[in-house]
Amino acid sequence: MPSKGSGEFERGYIVPIGGCENWISPEVCEQLRGLCLSAQAKASILNISEQELEHQIAPVLTDNGFVECSVINIQNRQDAQNSDNLDKMQAADILIIAGERPLQISTLIGGTLIAKQIRKLNADGVHVVGTFGGATILSEHMIAGGQDGTTPTQNGVTMAPGIGLTNRFMVDYHFEQQGRLGRLLTALSYNPFTLGIGIDDGTALFISPKDELVVFGTGAATLIDPSNLQYSSMGSAGSGDPISLFGLQMHILAQGARFTCENHSYDEHWA
């Protein structure tokens, strides 16, 4: 379950982004900057990888209105327990989790002080962005890997615990580019109470504290809604068998589209 935090502030936004580089458009940066109430907006980038990550996130953010963008490199679990790194996160309006492989990110920070701090800060109003592999770890149920393709199969996905900022969604990235519909559907057959989200490269999905979803970027977000699921063969399928799923709904959100989870309503343009 998401952290309760201090209870004094509204929960921050959660922003999964489908790729590490080509999402860094002025438009997405403008939306991130607009979330910050402070005139002196600050961001902290958590590079979570055993190898040094190379990207241009920090200079692009400072070129688009952020007065400060610190970089915290987490290459082992000792870094994730370092109190100095926790202190660097305290002043941020936005935390950005960058990493290549979801399972490696989870292995490096799962259960550490850094993971607990991310949960607490988000509960107290700090916005958390996850990009590339970092997009999947934001949820409680994390897609760690699986088979590419469009058909769900009994063993088509590998699941692992995420950091649990939300239990309403499961997220996959590189969605259109890698053909990952099948593994997202398989993940939903294990967890039919969540909303499945597949995010294209170059695309950011802004999830509000009220679970309103808005898309910005050059691609789209694919939403798989199992709330009216009538039948799943997951419970009787053998290893590797295709899975039958009846009653799923699919929604495609492109630039500016909004979807409200509470009443499953949508708007073509966000205002």
Q: What is the pLDDT of residues 234-256, one digit of tens each?
A: 999 999 999 999 999 999 999 99
What is the pTM (predicted TM-score) of this model?
A: 0.92
Query: Would you say residue 5 lies in a domain?
Result: no
Query: Would you say residue 2 lies in a domain?
Result: no
Q: Could you tell me the pLDDT band of residue 7, with boundaries at 50, 70 and 90?
A: low
Across 2-16, 193-207, 256-270, which has the greatest mean pLDDT?
193-207
Q: What is the pLDDT of residues 57-67, one digit of tens each?
A: 898 899 889 99
CATH number at residue 183: 3.40.50.880
For residue 61, CA distances in Å to 29, 90, 134 come to: 6, 18, 18
Query: Would you say residue 134 lies in a domain?
Result: yes
Query: Would you say residue 181 lies in a domain?
Result: yes
**Total number of domains in the chain:** 1
Task: Give the bridge partners for 258, in sequence order.
Answer: 214, 267
Amino acid 5: pLDDT: 62
* Strand ranges inside the chain, DSSP E: 14-17, 42-48, 68-74, 94-99, 127-132, 141-146, 157-161, 169-172, 195-199, 203-207, 212-217, 221-225, 231-232, 245-246, 249-253, 258-260, 265-267
Burial class (CB in 10 A: 0-12, 13-18, 19+), 83: exposed
Q: Are 180 and 174 in contact (CB under 8 A)?
A: yes
Query: Would you say residue 117 lies in a domain?
Result: yes
Amino acid 271: pLDDT: 47
Please calculate the CA angle 146-151-154 and round it to the nearest 5 degrees: 60
Q: What is the pLDDT of residues 29-49, one digit of tens each?
A: 889 999 998 889 999 999 999
Amino acid at residue number 14: I
Domain hosting 167: range is 14-267
Amino acid 188: pLDDT: 93
Q: What is the pLDDT of residues 80-136, one digit of tens each?
A: 999 999 999 999 999 999 998 999 999 999 999 999 999 999 999 999 999 989 999
Query: Would you say residue 8 lies in a domain?
Result: no
Query: Would you say residue 218 lies in a domain?
Result: yes
Across the range 174-195, mean pLDDT stands at 88
Query: Would you say residue 243 lies in a domain?
Result: yes
